[in-house]
Amino acid sequence: MIADRILVLTGGVAGAAGVALSAVAAHAGGGNVGTAASFLLMHAPVFVASGLLRVNVLLRIGSLVLLVGLLLFCGDLLMRAYAGTRLFPMAAPTGGAAMILGWLMIAGSAFGLGRASPDRP
């Protein structure tokens, strides 16, 4: 399924971006860059795992909500650091709220909501 591939791809890109931004933050400073790097690195394995597991629909949707939140949150922090402006008003808090919701949906997936069909690989 395309969502599974997107999640695995996103995990790899988020991990690579997190490592690169960590290096930038270490050498050039910047609290927002370091925070964005940390968030990218800590969420990258979630995307890879959820793309590979295919447990149920709620896990996949929760992971995609988490991805949107991460993009908004980190995007806003990086825009502030490099462009001196916000992505849009309330982007970081909206992204943070989406990440919280995504994590709660992932937790809810433990109860088997939206089970994947048995014939899926």
pLDDT (average), residues 16-45: 93
- The whole-number pLDDT of residue 121 equals 45
More confident position, 84 or 116: 84
> Structure pTM?
0.85
Query: 50-65: per-residue pLDDT in tens?
Result: 989 877 889 999 999 9
Identify the three-state secondary structure at position 115: strand
- The residue with tokens 């629909």 is 57
**46, 63 contact by CB (below 8 A):** yes
User: What burial letters (b/e) apply to 15-25, b meaning 16+ CB within 10 Å?
Assistant: bebbeebbebb
